[in-house]
Structure 1
């Protein structure tokens, strides 16, 4: 089977102010890095209201529609902006993740990478934040659980910033295991090990500033992989942030490109044992353009290898 790449040109229409780290060039660099790989290339559909209402209330959708400017920019919080077309871009991000879930469950393709923006793992039910508008990974998990009837889905978030939105959106969901590794201390300040969820289905793995890929590997071997194996998810969703790279300007972890390859390989091995290899990866952070492109390519190459 093959690996799907799901993306859309609408995600390039989300334009942030000059100098903003979550810029159009991020997606362009990822797309260029993946251009020569053998992938099933699909256009991301636009998520409808019914898809979003699984976790976001109608009043939030209405608020975003009112806030999107006809020209220029509108600021939602200190870090999160809208331009004309931003809401559609965000809906494409959700749509990509749902399309990926549909495809891997149907056996259309082995696994998928969703190259979209804005990212999603900081968005809470009614709170856009940290460059994020909708909870892409969390919505994908709910789609797999509620629409497809899977009984167990896991999300592993290896972005350098804690996925507070994913955690909040799935806090009460016993069928979803949410595992996040993140630098601590670092914005947004959440992600302590004591945050375990209402059903003990949240595992936070803080990593100290300056720590390397070797320390990450040890933490995953000791904490993440055993918990994931024990939960035995029927689908694995990855919040694939590449800002733990040593070159990233927004944080202080020192992972190298090969660390993302190692982590992807090991996670795919677990998915092969528990989930028939079904892996959906959604792009989150990564703000050094060269490091982002290189790391995303290595990540997708491991998905391709796992899907053979």
Structure 2
């Protein structure tokens, strides 16, 4: 089973201040853990291209794209909101993150690799078509999914989001689109305080309270996600892989561990094998305790690559 690992050097140049949790150290730690776990040589390393503005426009308005491009500063920071800042490398990094997700999708659909993990930042699942927010500039995963649907012509895809926060941006892109089933769990109440009202039929949101542990999450996946995914029979699966639901990650208060992420990934892979020719693209979202992040990503990639 060939698993591609997509990233780009520019993704480590975007930063939002020394104390910001969404830091370049996240990707460096993932790199280190791949090496120490001895799986670095077992994945296919690919450098992402930069997404074009036309590709970004598959999801985002031209005004949103222009705002990020034009407000990327020559030095210092430009605040888009209280948590989301631009530095001189942000425009390039955002295009690299989006480009990785799109390139991974192309590679999987062209049969070059079976699946892919995109080690990218800034993350994306809070970015709506017309607003960057929540550490996110462009919605990398939504762009990849739109590429599969609108460029490659897939008829049914699934999106799985296991970040501790609701993927409000992804929901905004795909709500009421019958081609897409999105399944997620997330801590509630928690930023961005969405995902519990006025839900369209193709969104299967599972809000859970703080301190929910992995055993309950597994039960919810079995009871709700898996029947819906079997019913939808997706031709490709996209994963918003946020690892901030880990019990060591203080940005949220859920109780997952590496074994839970491996188990969830295995359930997704079984669905993908049955309906999708094992076609999966996973994009990094949250995860801010770097040790927990590195360990969890390794657990996730081992299942993607059939190493466990």
TM-score range, shorter chain: over 0.9
Q: Could you tell me whether the CA contact under 8 Å between 1:13 and 1:85 is conserved in 2?
A: yes
C-alpha distance in 1 between matches for 2:72 and 2:271: 41
Counterpart in 1 of 2:261?
260
Corresponding residue of 2:209: 208
Query: Deviation per CA, 1:14-46, whole angstroms, max 9, x where unpaired?
Result: 011111010110111112212331011000110
Indicate whether 1:196 and 2:199 are aligned.
yes
Partner deviation per Cα, 1:235-293 (whole Å, 9 max, x = no partner):
00000000000000101001111100111111101110010100000000000010000
Alpha-carbon distance, 1:67 to partner: 0.9
Name the CA distance, whole Å, in 2 between partners of 1:235 and 1:22. 29
How far apart, in 2, do the equivalents of 1:260 and 1:206 lie? Answer: 18
Aligned-residue Cα RMSD (Å) equals 1.2
Task: Report the equivalent of 1:39.
Answer: 43
SS in 2 for 1:305: coil
The 5 A counterparts of 1:254-293 are: 254-293=255-294
Task: State the partner residue of 1:18.
Answer: 18
| Distance in 2 (alpha carbons) for counterparts of 1:237 and 1:93 | 15
Partner Cα distance (1:304, 1:130) in 2: 30
Q: Distance in 1 between matches of 2:237 and 2:259?
A: 21
Q: Using structure 2 for the length normalisation, give the TM-score.
A: 0.97
Equivalent residues of 1:5, 1:114 under 8 A apart? yes
- Retained in 2: the 8 A contact 1:195–1:203? no
- Indicate the residue corresponding to 2:100 in structure 1: 96
SS in 1 for 2:305: helix
Aligned match of 1:304: 305
Match of 1:9 in 2: 9
Preserved CA contact (<8 Å) 1:250 1:287? yes
Q: Show structure 2 runs of 5+ residues with no match.
A: none
Superposition pairs for residues 74-223 of structure 1, below 5 Å?
74-192=78-196, 194-197=197-200, 200-223=201-224
Runs of 4+, deviation exceeding 2 Å: 194-197
DSSP-derived class of the 1:34 partner: helix
Distance 2:266 2:204 in 1: 20
Contact map agreement 1:195 1:204 (CA 8 A) in 2: no
Number of aligned residue pairs: 304
**Aligned counterpart, 1:294:** 295
The 3-state SS of whatever aligns with 1:172 is coil
